[in-house]
Amino acid sequence: MWRNHTVRARRPAALRWDWRLLFILGGVGALMTGAGMGAGKGAGETVTGPGWPGTAPPVAVALSVEPLATGDEPRYLFVLGAMATGEETAVVTFRNGQTYDFVVVQDGEEIWRWSQGRVFHQAIQQRRWPPGELVIFTAVWDGRDAAGRPVTGTVEVHGTLTSDPPLAAEAVTLRLP
């Protein structure tokens, strides 16, 4: 289960609101404030064009991971937030219908990828990020690897905006029971 939400524009259609989601969004927002806006200010200019190589990223991304209490089976909510870094609308190019991806890595090896087995159209698309608008992309991981085996121990979760060029958030370490 996954959703793509624009926080300010509309409420998520299918994700239930509870205090944990608010905590997550708040945390992502804090991350955006620290990383995204700081990066924008550090760059010294507002970037509004497509994310061609050589230009400062127009959008900052941050990742958070939160366990979900959904019964006996473990579930983990991955949330990738993206926010424009400047004071003008950011335009980001995507090479196809995919806009984000999540990868779980253990001991340096990829054990799960959200996009595996998924199909995307092959039209170049551009998305616009008005300044201050936080867009979140979510996915739920069932704690199993690509072969369906339960994973234990420590893993790293990576979230990437699959733009051109891709924008990767700082990885989050997750300790599984």
Partner 1 sequence: MRDVPNAQRTRRRPLAGIALLLLAAVLAGCFGSRPGAGTFGLQGVVVADGAGDAPIAGAVVRVGDLETISGDDGAFSLPQVPVDGATMTVTAVAPGYRSATVLIQPAPGQQLFITVRLLPLEDGDDGGSGDAPPPMGNGAVEALVRLVNAPSGTSAAGAAGTRPASIGSAGRLEEELRAAGASRSVVRTAAATVPGQWIVQMNADYPVQAVQDMWAAAGVHVLERLADNFYLVAAPEGASPLETELRLAQLPNVVSVEPNRQVYPVAVPTPNDPYFDQQWSLPLISIPYAWGVTTGSRDVVVAVLDTGLLPQHPDLAGVNIVHGRNFASGQSATNYTDDATDVSHGTMVAGIIAAAANNARGIAGINWNVSIMPVRVMSSRSGGTVAAVGQGIRWAVDNGAHVINMSLAWDAAYNDTFVNQQIEYAASRGVVLVAGAGNDSGRVTMPASHPDVIAVGAVDRHKQAAWYSNYGPELDLVAPGGDTRRSRLDGVLSTNLTSGSAVYSYQQGTSFAAPHVTGIVALMYSAGITDAQEIRDLLRYTAEDLGAPGFDHRYGWGLVNAYAAVTRSDPIHALVGVAAADGSHVWGPVHPQRQGGQAVARVEGLVPGRHTVFGWIDAYPDGLMGPGDFAGLAEVAVPEDGPVSVDLPLAIWDTLPAADQSRLAALIHR
> Which residue lies nearer to partner 1 by CB, 10 or 175?
10
Measured between its terminal Cα atoms, the distance across the chain in Å is 22
Q: Is 128 in the site for partner 1 (CB under 8 A)?
A: no
Q: What is the DSSP string of 165-176?
A: S-EEPPPEEEEE
Least Cβ distance, residue 119 to partner 1 (angstroms)? 4
Instruction: Please select the residue that binds partner 1; options are 42, 121, 175, 177, rule is CB under 8 A.
Output: 121
Residue 117 in tokens: 């087995």
Residue 89 binds partner 1 (CB under 8 A) = no
Does residue number 16 form part of the binding site for partner 1 (CB under 8 A)?
no
Contact between 119 and partner 1 per CB under 8 A: yes
* Spatial distance between the Cα atoms of 118 and 99, rounded to a whole number of angstroms: 12
Peptide bond before 165: cis, by omega within 30 degrees of 0? yes
Q: Which of residues 57-86 bind partner 1 (CB under 8 A)?
A: none
Q: Which strands make up the sheet holding 134-141, listed edge to edge? A: 2-6, 134-141, 75-84, 59-68
Q: How far is the CB of 95 from partner 1 (least distance, A)?
A: 4
∠ Cα 51 53 54 (to 5°): 105
> How near is the Cβ of 148 to partner 1 at its closest, in Å?
15
Q: Does 96 sit near partner 1 (CB under 8 A)?
A: yes
Beta carbon nearer to partner 1, 101 or 155? 101
> Which positions lie near partner 1, rule CB under 8 A?
2, 4, 95-98, 115-125
